[in-house]
Amino acid sequence: MIRFFWLLAWLVPGFAADLTGQWAATLKMGGQGYPLHFEFKQTGGAITGAFGFRADFLWPLAETRLEDGKLRFVMRMPSGPEAVFEGTVTGDALSGQLASTAQGPGGALEMTKAGPPSRLPSPLVPHSSSGLSKLSDEFSRPETRREWTTLSQAEDWPGRIERMDIGGASPGRLSIIPRSGAWWGGYHGVYLFKVVRGDFMVTARLQVTGKAGGEPANIWTISGLLVRAPGDLSLAREQRKENWIYLMTGRGPSQARVVDAKSNRDGSNAWDITPAAAGWYELRIARIGPLFVLLCRPDGEPWKARKLIFRADLPPALQVGLNLTSDFKLSTTMPAAKFNAATFDGAGVDAATLVDWIRFSPLPDRRKALNALAGKPVLDVSDADLLRIAE
């Protein structure tokens, strides 16, 4: 009997294959090869999966199906058309075609199994520094402005703030009018931060508008929370690599409002956006070692889990604070080193951000929720799980 099943597995590709685990992939398109990362979980005939450009930032696959050694799934990117993969499983290899549903270019997708499934760290025990709440700012006193450090002060870059005050434009709030700036890849925008060591939770309530109120005139006018590894000051400014995670809201790549989550690794970013409303938003980032949980909500709404990101490369001490993107279009016209070295006054920036407060705290005591997730496969982690940690 055992010999029969061995022979059947050899004759029928994919019969005995278990797709569970990490897969390294290459998309061959237009004479170029593009690396991708996949994760699958197989339970009997049921398949779930996720994909991304890197293992730290994944999107779920849709309509995943495995039948008679044939695998099919749909990839939906944060922008652009979706794509459908259809291919064959042969042991620890997958190969097939990826076709765009919008009649765009397709390509050959080849995968090899790269290892066991990704899992959450174990144990999941927060290690927070004492006195985190002292870093909070309700912006009720103008003198607390001195407690914040800007990127220009810390790392010798030009200042990117046109005007900033506490209580002037709006009582009890921080008001920021930025110069030209952008946070993506190696590019810089406005950044106010405090240094935090260990695990933490940071939450801010803010609103993004144009200078005169209402909708910003330019695409990618967004503000939010940035968690960043300090730049290596032993290197020349143009040689420093950007490593950070952000959660921002405002006007996105079109007229619409968005909430944007991004993970930037050595100046290369992975990102996705979801629709958002105008008005005031609360944004939250919680850190537990290499695990970062991102949550958001408009005023009066319940918290929603926005993203789960793994960044084991980020150091114990991070810069944590408020960031603004105000001039994405201009940043795309030149290298990051050139953009970062100038302020481009008169560039047509139309952005203003009001911050009601920003609050730092240790993670709440959620031992039961953390213990339940410790060592759990990434694909088994639900939005409800993330809310139980950081809501």
> Cα separation of 95 and 47, whole Å?
17
Cβ neighbours for 234, distance < 8 A, ≥ 6 positions apart: none
pLDDT at 266 (0 to 100): 96
Sheet holding 21-29, edge to edge: 57-60, 46-54, 32-43, 21-29, 107-115, 93-100, 83-90, 70-75, 62-67
Quick: pLDDT tens for 113-137: 999 999 999 999 899 888 999 999 9
The verdict on 107 and 140 lying in the same domain is no
Contact in structure between 258 and 247 (CB atoms under 8 Å): no
Looking at 115, 146, 180, the residue that finishes a domain is: 115
Whether 249 has a pLDDT exceeding 70, the answer reads yes
Residue 124 in domain: no
Q: What range does the domain containing 321 cover? A: 132-390
Residue 82 in domain: yes
Looking at 53, 87, 115, the residue that finishes a domain is: 115
Residue 320 in domain: yes
Whether 369 has a pLDDT exceeding 70, the answer reads yes
Whether 38 has a pLDDT exceeding 90, the answer reads yes
Residue 271 in domain: yes
> Cα separation of 69 and 13, whole Å?
5
pLDDT at 3 (0 to 100): 43
The verdict on 14 and 87 lying in the same domain is yes
Contact in structure between 87 and 94 (CB atoms under 8 Å): yes
Q: Report the DSSP beta bridge partners of residue 194.
A: 320
Q: Report the DSSP beta bridge partners of residue 51.
A: 38, 59
| Percent share of the chain, pLDDT over 90 | 83
Which CATH number fits the domain that encloses residue 44?
2.40.128.120
The verdict on 269 and 173 lying in the same domain is yes
The verdict on 92 and 142 lying in the same domain is no
The verdict on 219 and 287 lying in the same domain is yes
Evaluate if pTM is beyond 0.85: yes
CA dihedral (360, 362, 364, 370) positive or negative:
positive
Whether 11 has a pLDDT exceeding 60, the answer reads no
Using 50, 70 and 90 to split pLDDT, how confident is the model at 13?
Answer: very low
Contact in structure between 322 and 226 (CB atoms under 8 Å): yes
The verdict on 108 and 138 lying in the same domain is no
pLDDT at 76 (0 to 100): 87
pLDDT at 74 (0 to 100): 95
Cβ neighbours for 104, distance < 8 A, ≥ 6 positions apart: 80, 81
More confident residue, 352 or 17: 352
Whether 66 has a pLDDT exceeding 90, the answer reads yes
Residue 187 in domain: yes
Mean pLDDT score, 345-360:
94
The verdict on 87 and 229 lying in the same domain is no
The verdict on 183 and 65 lying in the same domain is no
Whether 20 has a pLDDT exceeding 50, the answer reads yes
Using 50, 70 and 90 to split pLDDT, how confident is the model at 5?
Answer: very low
The overall average pLDDT reported for the chain is 92
The verdict on 40 and 165 lying in the same domain is no
The verdict on 312 and 270 lying in the same domain is yes
Residue 123 in domain: no
Whether 80 has a pLDDT exceeding 80, the answer reads no
pLDDT at 104 (0 to 100): 62
The verdict on 187 and 73 lying in the same domain is no
Which CATH number fits the domain that encloses residue 146?
2.60.120.200
Residue 122 in domain: no
Looking at 83, 115, 147, the residue that finishes a domain is: 115
Residue 198 in domain: yes
Contact in structure between 299 and 283 (CB atoms under 8 Å): no
pLDDT at 1 (0 to 100): 43
pLDDT at 81 (0 to 100): 75
| Percent share of the chain, pLDDT over 70 | 94
The verdict on 159 and 303 lying in the same domain is yes
pLDDT at 101 (0 to 100): 76
- What's the domain count of the chain? 2
What are the tokens at 146? 């001195």
Q: Of 11-20, 77-86, 245-254, where does mean pLDDT reach its minimum?
A: 11-20
